[in-house]
A = this chain, B = another copy of it.
Amino acid sequence: MVLFRLHSMQNQIVLGVSNRHVHLSREDLTTLFGLDALTVYRRVRQPGEFAAEQFVKVHGPRTTFEKVRIMGPCRAKSQVELSRTDCIQLGIDAPLTQSGHLQNAGPVEIEGPKGRVRLEHGALVAARHVHMGPGHAAELGVADQELVKIRFGGQRGGVLDNFIIRVKDEWVPEIHLDTDEANALGLHSGDHGELIKG
């Protein structure tokens, strides 16, 4: 019974809900803000990552989002992570893909106090994923890039398919959904989901 409960608890992973946000390359940060580095507004669960104090405007053909949070630190390439609802409002056709996989990402313009940048391949809807370190992956018997299901409880609960397992040494276990997924399932950051293999 104790073993069963331990196993059951290992499969319970905390949820982080990602609102629309932007990652910037250092070059684009300089263009948009005249800054060398972002400043920290609030640290998030993954070590070293943070919500920055800086915001950008995100321009699409149909509307502009006036205040979209930048997440730090800087990355190799800038990208704008949107929900499908955001894409429809902006009038941007963005693919569902893994963060950083920008070859098919949609066109989008971002604006800061010092300048404006057009990203020809910058807008995406992030595919559902689960962050974890190698130790946790070994305990759960899953590997980097494996697809799993996650069960969520509640009145709007259910089992969602095709979460990508993403493993890095420094990461801690965390499920990431966007706001469409969280609102559709009645979920909030800090809720938990149960990982189901296969």
Interfacial residues, chain A to chain B (CB-CB below 8 A): 83-85, 88, 96, 127-128, 149, 155-162, 178-181, 183-186
Contacts and interface: CB of A to CB of B under 8 A. Distances in A.
Contact of A85 (B85, B127, B159, B161): B85
A156 B160 CA distance: 7
Contact of A83 (B149, B159, B161, B183): B183
A156 B96 contact: yes
Contacts of A179: 85
A98 to B, nearest CB: 11
Given A84-B183, A180-B180, A183-B83, A158 B160 contact: yes
Contacts of A183: 83-85, 88, 180, 184
26 contacts: A84-B183, A84-B186, A85-B85, A85-B179, A88-B183, A96-B155, A96-B186, A127-B155, A128-B156, A149-B158, A155-B162, A156-B160, A156-B161, A157-B160, A158-B158, A158-B160, A158-B161, A159-B159, A160-B185, A178-B184, A180-B180, A180-B183, A181-B184, A183-B184, A184-B184, A184-B185
Closest 8 pairs (CB-CB, A-B): A184-B184, A84-B183, A158-B160, A181-B184, A180-B184, A180-B183, A159-B159, A157-B161
Nearest to A179: B85
A193 B2 CA distance: 39
Most chain B C-beta atoms within 10 Å of own C-beta, residue among A96, A178, A183: A183
A185 B160 CA distance: 8
Contacts of A149: 158
Nearest to A185: B184
A149 B151 CA distance: 13
Given A84-B184, A184-B185, 18 more contacts: A83-B85, A84-B186, A85-B179, A85-B183, A88-B183, A96-B186, A127-B155, A149-B158, A155-B162, A157-B160, A157-B162, A158-B158, A158-B160, A158-B161, A160-B185, A180-B180, A181-B184, A184-B184
